[in-house]
Each structure stands twice: as structure tokens, then as C-alpha cells.
Amino acid sequence: MKIILDGMGGDNAPASVVEGAILASKEIEHQILIIGKEELINKELKKYKYDENKILVADATEVISNDDAPVRAVRSKKDSSIVKGINMVKSGEGDVFISAGSTGALLAGGLFILGRIQGIDRPALACIYPIVGGNPSLLVDAGANADCKPNNLLEFGIMGNIYMEKVIGRTNPKVGLVNIGSEAAKGSTLTKAAYNLLEQSDMNFIGNVEAREVPKGACDVIVTDGFTGNVLLKLTEGMAWNILQVLKRKFTEGTKAKIGAALLLDKIKGLKKEFDYSEYGGAPILGVKGPIVKMHGSSSANAVKNTILKAIPYAEGKIVDIIQNSVLEIEEITLSEYDKF
Amino acid sequence: MKIILDGMGGDNAPASVVEGAILASKEIEHQILIIGKEELINKELKKYKYDENKILVADATEVISNDDAPVRAVRSKKDSSIVKGINMVKSGEGDVFISAGSTGALLAGGLFILGRIQGIDRPALACIYPIVGGNPSLLVDAGANADCKPNNLLEFGIMGNIYMEKVIGRTNPKVGLVNIGSEAAKGSTLTKAAYNLLEQSDMNFIGNVEAREVPKGACDVIVTDGFTGNVLLKLTEGMAWNILQVLKRKFTEGTKAKIGAALLLDKIKGLKKEFDYSEYGGAPILGVKGPIVKMHGSSSANAVKNTILKAIPYAEGKIVDIIQNSVLEIEEITLSEYDKF
């Protein structure tokens, strides 16, 4: 297997990307090809000892930044690491493309270069959602589609269910729909219709899940539109940050508190670690005809390493083919809705 | 002024409602009329010493529960505390109606009995949003309208701005739109259009606010549709609960941690208090022609007391009239949008 790694994406590129590749290469037998400005990448590589048969470099002279308009950038910057990297997956030269670059560009690249899986209306970003004191959930869609239709939410559920089962290894995952009430009749026009579709699927659909229950790990696959999903993810991040900041402040007020905090230091660090995205690997863009994994923009070398390690079962598991086969179910459910009229 | 208090709403009614009324009556000169099953309320009242000129009781034989379909309940249960209480505000017999009962029934009652303020398309629930280590924000809409149009969000902003300034007393409040990106062009069809409307208002509109920034107190008035608002509020509650539970568990693992936790006990309690809704008073239903305040269903006597105290400046401030006058601005902005075509 050959893993294509974007050397130019993210805040700490290429330094942490290269370091992450080196770390990962020590644990796997697969090849890692780093794509980007060759000179810069080689300069970073020189800092390390590594197996030259396992870490390769390919040149890409252009860079797509977060400020670029995604669609235009993908169409015009043909020699960028993102466009070239995704093309390598298309041609079969690589098996998976990993990048900490612009989500919009990765999505646009996936759509234009690889294309949608037939029958999937909207690809989605599936993101690991940290559960403090428990196994993480998977959030689909985490922000790729701000406006959704009911069948999109069904697709997100089916794709997320497959990823959770085949890649993360959770048997018979509980699939929940984010809603503002627990009863089937509650919610927006979108969630009410999506509920009906999800209920007809073969998945272990547990119904509506209120946002209050999400951080407690109420479901394994959290289905929601990209707007709500992004709000969920970012609010969780903001709340965790905020509470930890306030604890830090409170726990350093006065000598008594300082002694108490010193005794609890390892516990507090443990809590912080549970919110640390770098442990969990990246977020796959599900629904395009090839594996693309998006990493957090501020990914550390350790996060890059973990993303590489977790991308292997994703690419090996032929998830794209499995999703392709599940499309029949989606079509049957959405067609059955038409029968009602 | 006469405050009408629903004796039957909430999980702990009528006990905590009556106790809260007694507590409040010691701090104010206004009359409090408790409406509900007279016998039950009088039984509770007998437990206390109180000024009989300040606490009155009115009988209502029916109760609207959370399980009742709101619209049907308001239409059929004419002798319920909610319907009779709101009617008292309409007739001028009372100045404000406070209830811990069904949000849907309060909203339906407000709409059918008092009616919408002319020019306001959708009334909204404005809820205090706790900011740990800072002044609370106001979230509009917290869940009354699951499906919204852009002009609804403009209305929520304008009504929330007035409430924040006139009732909570924050000068020139910062009004922010919950969105999944900070730039004007980001977001859903709804938020992009709402941004344009809010930008044209006279308010101190600070633009888009990402969910990550909300718990840090990035804006005083948090404008969003009722679906997202409800998700924000409940996720905040769930995250706070979850982190406090995990802290509790971690801090009691081992002797060293137990000693540390004992030294930090007052700090941890202080943190818990900052999330305590009972300190903040209730949530007004803005946009109907009279003051209705919704309390949390599990309101304690202290929460009831605080809601009563904070409802006074709301009723006295003639907020309904001020909102009525601000409608002109809403109309001018939404009309100017038509000019663009």
C-alpha cells in the first residue's frame, strides 16, 4: 500500500507532517509518499534517519491555502499538493490521500477528481467526537454540507455506520439523530423527515438524541446536518477549553488551592488528554470514490502519525466499495417515501 | 404591580413554586397571585408565615402537562393555570405571567390569547446562557422555532438586544450570529441571508460567531434559529454535567487525589454554581403582546424567587411597547432586501 501525504497542509507544515511520517514509518511496512514543495520537504527529512524505501517525496509546486476559494483553487492550481495527491488516488498510484489542508478544497477535489459514489447525493466529513471517560463517537456530517435534505441525513447515517463498524471496529453501532426532543414527532421539518427515513433502514437506529446526551456517548454514530454538526464539534471544543481554563485559574487562587491542584495534576492532565484530537486520527470524507482523510489544521507530529496509522484499515477495508453496495438500501428507502403520496 | 405565578408548572409544583413566592415576597412590595389548584396551593402556603395582602391565590381546576399537545391543550383546557394566567395578563389584571410549565403551551397561549406584536413574524424564547467566569449572554431563539427564515433571525436579534439592554442592563450589547465560519460569506442559506439583514440594523452587530467562541462570552446576544439554539443550550448543559462527573470520579481515585480534591472543594462548588440556571431567572417569550416568562421545569424555590425578582424590571420596562416600536426598523431592513431584486 502507498499512502499519499500532503506535505503542505496545516499550520505546522511541512515540519510536523514530515516528523509524523517518520514516526509512522517506524510502525508500518507501507510506503509513505510526501507530496509538496520538494526542497522544503527534503530539508525537513534531512533532520531524521529513516528508511528511504519507505518514505518518498514527490514535487508539487503550488499550494492551496485556507484563504483560497476551494472550487476555483482546485480547478486552477493543477500542480498543488491537494490536486496532485487526489489524482494519485484516482490513478491507483496511491491508496489513500491524507491532508491537513483546506476542508473545502479536499471536498471539491474529491468531488471533481474522484467523483461521488453513485447514489450518494452529498459526501460528508465524518469526525471522531471525543467522549470523556468513554469510547469516542463518530459525527457525520461535521461541516461539509451546511444545507441538507432528509435523504442526505440517511446517507450520512449509512456511511457513518459502515465506517464505525468496519474501520473503528464497533459492532452493531448505535445510530442516533441529533434533535431537539426525543419523540419521533419532534424537531425541524428536516429532522422529522430524516427520522422516517432512518427508521426504515437496516441500521441499529436508536431514534432522536438530544444534544445534552451527545457528550455522554448516547450513540456511536451521531447523524446531523453539517451546520449542526459543526456547531456541536466546535461548541464541545470551546466548552472543554473554557472549563479547563477556569479550573486552571480557580486552582491557582490561594496556597490551599495550589497544593490541592499539585496533588491532582496528573488527573487534570488526564482529562485534557481525553479531549485531545491528536489521539484519534483524522476525518474521512465519505461518499467520494476513493479514500481522502482530513486532519486537523493544527495537527502535531503525533496527530499526523495517528492519522496515518488509522487510515490504513480505512483504505484496506475497501470502504468505498462497501458504501457503493449499500446505496441500494438508500434507494429503496427513499423510493418507498414516494409511495406514500 | 401584580405578578401571576403558575402554581402547577414544573417538576416540583406546587411546593417549590409556593416556597419561591414566599421568598420573593419578602424582598418586594408587589403582589404575587399564585394560580392553580387552590386546595393544593393553600396546603403548601400553610407551611409558612406570610403577608396575606402580598400573596394571593386564584383557583384553576385544570392542568396542562408536558405530555399534552400544546395547541390542543390551550384550546381545550380553558380552566388551566396557563390559560387563565395568560388571560389575566391580557385583561390587565396581572402584569406578567411566570410558569415552569410546558414551553409549547406557554408559546401557544401567548400566541392565541395575547397575539403576536404586529410586525413580529415569530415569537422566540430568550434564554440566559451561562458564561463561566464572565457575565451571562442571552440566547435567542432557545427552541421555540425549529424552522426559521432570515427575517426571523433579524427579529430575534432586535428583541434580544432590547431585552439585554433594558432588562439585564448591558449597554450597547454585542449581537452575534451563530455560524460555521467567521466570514460573511460562510454558512447555510439561512445564516448568509440573516447576516445581510443583521448588518443593516442599528444594533452593535459583531458578525458571525463560531460555536467555539460562544462559551467564552464572545457576544452578549447570541442570535440563532431555535433548532441550533436548543442544541447549543443542551450541549452546554451536557458538557458541563459530563466534565463535572468525570472530575468527581477522577478526583476520588486514590488517597492523594482525595486530599487534593478536599483542598479544592470550595473551588469545584464555585464552578458548579456558575452553571446553575437557578441564579439567572427565567426565559421571556419575546414577541407576544404581554410579558410571559418560562422557568426551567426543575426550578427550585430559589430559582422561582430569582425569576420573580427579574421579571419585575421586564414588566416595568414596558419591553413589549419598546419591541413594538422597533418593528419599524425590521420592516425597513426587510423591505430594502426586496429592492435588491
Q: How far apart are CA A199 and CA A29, in angstroms?
A: 42
pLDDT digits (tens, 9 = 90+) for A92-101: 999 999 999 9
Q: How far apart are CA A22 and CA A287, in angstroms?
A: 30
CB contact under 8 A, B246 and A187: no
For chain B, say whether A1 makes contact (Cβ under 8 Å). no
Question: Do the Cβ atoms of B115 and B289 come closer than 8 Å?
Answer: yes
Question: Do the Cβ atoms of B235 and B256 come closer than 8 Å?
Answer: no
Read off the C-alpha cell for A328. Answer: 441500494
- Shortest distance between the Cα of B256 and any Cα of chain A, in A, equals 6
Pairing of strands A137-140, A124-129: antiparallel
Backbone angles phi, psi at A261, to 5 degrees: -65, -40
Q: Which of B168, B135, B205 is nearest to B286 (CA)?
A: B168
Q: How far apart are CA B158 and CA B153, in angstroms?
A: 9
Q: Coil, helix or strand for B330?
A: helix
Q: Coil, helix or strand for A226?
A: helix
pLDDT in tens, chain B (341 residues): 999 999 999 888 999 999 999 999 999 999 999 999 999 999 999 999 999 999 999 999 999 998 899 999 999 999 999 999 999 999 999 999 999 999 999 999 999 999 999 889 999 999 999 888 789 999 999 999 999 999 999 999 999 999 999 999 999 999 999 999 888 888 999 999 999 999 999 999 999 999 999 999 999 999 999 999 999 999 998 988 888 888 888 888 888 888 888 888 888 777 777 776 667 778 999 999 999 999 988 889 999 999 999 999 999 988 999 999 888 888 877 777 665 54
Tell which B residues from 197 to 236 touch A, by Cβ distance under 8 Å.
210-216, 226-228, 230-236
Distance of alpha carbon A176 from the chain centroid:
18
Question: Do the Cβ atoms of A224 and A125 come closer than 8 Å?
Answer: no
Read off the C-alpha cell for B19. Answer: 416556597
Q: Which of B221, B235, B217, B136 is nearest to B177 (CA)?
A: B221
How many residue pairs bridge chain A and chain B with CB atoms within 8 Å of each other? 169
State how far the alpha carbon of A233 is from the alpha carbons of A154, A162, B53, B212, in Å: 20, 21, 52, 8
Question: Do the Cβ atoms of B69 and B78 come closer than 8 Å?
Answer: no
- The residues pairing with B139 across neighbouring beta strands, listed in sequence order, are B127, B222
- Shortest distance between the Cα of B1 and any Cα of chain A, in A, equals 36
Pairing of strands A283-286, A292-294: antiparallel
CB contact under 8 A, A250 and B270: yes
Pairing of strands B137-140, A96-99: unpaired
- Please report the sign of the dihedral spanned by the C-alpha atoms of residue B42, residue B44, residue B48, residue B54: negative
Q: Which chain B residues have a beta carbon less than 8 Å from that of A147?
A: 188-190
Question: Do the Cβ atoms of B29 and B59 come closer than 8 Å?
Answer: no
Side-chain half-sphere CA neighbours of B230 within 13 A: 22
